[in-house]
Amino acid sequence: MHRFTPALLITLTTFGLALTAPTPTATAQAATWHKGTPKIIRGKWRGTTHKVKQIHYQGHADLIIKAKSITNNPALPPRDPNYSTKLHYKKTGKKTYTIKGRQYNNAPAKGVKITFKIKVYSHHKIHFKIMHDGRTGNNGIFHRA
């Protein structure tokens, strides 16, 4: 009987510690989606100048970011402004934001989903990108106007 007592005591202690040990209850959470746009990027922005020699045209993209909307005027013709609302954003990196919303101009009644990615370099400089957009006049570096 004395042979089994230490082994039984060790086994019961091991199971007791395993059952009563604290288990991690918090899991890793993804970034939270917030309504609107981040305050750091709100304002009027102006893109770099684009030149088209064939039609003797030069222009720059304009970007107006408000609390609940983004208006984007492309640099190259046709300069049809894109107006996006119902915005939600999340922080995806250090000073990098992903913004999702709906675009209603030239779109069906419920609008078209649109995604932007914005990297903040400083208070006066950002990189703006419309995801899944092939036009070169929309994306690039913008400076505060």
Tell me, what CATH number does 140's domain have? Answer: 2.40.128
Q: How many domains does the chain have?
A: 1
Look at strands 140-144 and 43-52 and give their pairing: antiparallel
Strand, helix or coil for residue 19: helix
In a domain, 78, yes or no: yes
What is the SS3 string spanning 108-128? CCCCEEEEEEEEEEECCEEEE
Question: Which residues neighbour 45 within 8 Å (Cβ) at sequence distance 6 or greater?
Answer: 62, 63, 64, 65, 126, 128, 142, 143, 144, 145
Q: What is the pLDDT of residue 55?
A: 75
Could you list the residue range(s) of the whole structural domain that residue 43 is in? 34-144
- The pTM assigned to this predicted structure is 0.73
pLDDT digit of tens for each residue in the chain (145 aa)? 556 677 766 777 777 666 666 655 555 556 799 999 999 999 999 988 777 777 777 888 899 999 999 999 888 777 778 899 999 999 999 999 999 999 988 778 888 999 999 999 999 999 999 987 766 557 889 999 8
Could you give the CA distance from residue 104 to residue 84 in angstroms, rounded to a whole number?
Answer: 7
